[in-house]
Amino acid sequence: MRLWAEHLKCLLCVGKRCIILKSRRASLIISVAIMLTFTVLHGAVFASTLHLEANPQDSIEEVTAETIPEPTATPTPTSTPSPTPTQMPATVLSQSITDTTTSVDEEDVVEEMSSFEELREYFSEDDIVMMAQLIHAEAGSVYPLNRRAAVAWTVLNRMDNGYSSSCTTIAGTIKEPGQFAWYSGCSYSDLDYQIAEDVLARWATEQITGQPDEGRVLPSCYMFFWGDGSQNHFNDGKGNYWDYSVDYDPYEDWA
């Protein structure tokens, strides 16, 4: 654009000189040159206008790039992340709880086994069987069950009270002649066995603690009984009979 303007300026100067010099031929040539120059200039301006209309974004981008400086990015302050608390996985936590529960259960079982072994120092398996046979022979069909248990307590009361020289062991007390209906090979039921084992365990607990067991169904003074075919009647040998009352019946829910 500037080049064409300079060219036009030169032509005008020459034209002026030619006019001054009154050179008609030269003036004619200069005039033609000026006309051609204007024509070319008009075409160039028209072409530039068309390009600007066709690509306005390019022009705006060029102007923007020249006039608007790029903004300087402000550095973002970095923050120190807070530590995330470490959590125990659910599987590990579940396993640790299970291990704790198992160890507690095992301790309870070991303690119960130790307690039972301590009780078994006071009676043997043969004692349980012999007592079950006696219960079956003397009260095999009697209900409630605490009255079956009372037969076993009669034997143990004799031992505790030193009723006779034979009453130093369970077998010796049961086998004493003319006292009980037990005989060798007498049958018994599972329920008879369970009652016999329970009574002996309670009695052994009394020997260890020195206190009457809460499950004792017959007071310690009653060492005798006689039967009428349906029930046994327990007495202390002095005319006093047990009225079958108990503060706590451990066999109430038994089958």
Indicate the helix (H) or strand (E) that contains 227: strand 224-227
CA distances from 156 to 16, 124, 172, 218 (A): 158, 14, 11, 10
User: What pLDDT shows up at residue 117?
Assistant: 82
Q: Answer for the pair 38, 30: CB distance below 8 angstroms, yes or no.
A: no
Say which residue, 58 or 128, is predicted with more confidence: 128
Task: Give the position of tokens 């009225």.
Answer: 243
Q: What mean pLDDT comes out for the span 145-158?
A: 97
Smallest CA-to-CA distance from 162 within 148, 181, 176, 149 is with 176
Which residues are CB-contacts of 219 (< 8 A; sequence separation ≥ 6)? Answer: 242
CA distances from 73 to 56, 70, 76 (A): 28, 9, 9
Rounded to an integer, what distance in angstroms lies between the CA atom of residue 95 and that of residue 231?
56
Which residues are CB-contacts of 154 (< 8 A; sequence separation ≥ 6)? Answer: 218, 222, 223, 224, 225, 234
Question: pTM, whole model, 2 decimals?
Answer: 0.57
User: What pLDDT shows up at residue 162?
Assistant: 93
Q: What mean pLDDT comes out for the span 164-179?
A: 94
Phi then psi for 59, rounded to 5 degrees? Answer: -70, -40
Rounded to an integer, what distance in angstroms lies between the CA atom of residue 101 and that of residue 95?
10
Rounded to an integer, what distance in angstroms lies between the CA atom of residue 178 and that of residue 175?
9
Residue type, 138: E
DSSP summary character for residue 58: H
Instruction: Calculate the average pLDDT of the chain.
Output: 74
Least trusted range by pLDDT, from 33-47, 188-202, 228-242: 33-47
82 pLDDT above the threshold of 90: no
Rounded to an integer, what distance in angstroms lies between the CA atom of residue 50 and that of residue 20?
40
249 pLDDT above the threshold of 60: yes
HSE, side-chain direction, 13 A CA sphere, residue 62: 5
**How many beta carbons lie within 10 A of that of residue 27, not counting itself?**
17
Task: Give the position of tokens 């291990």.
Answer: 99
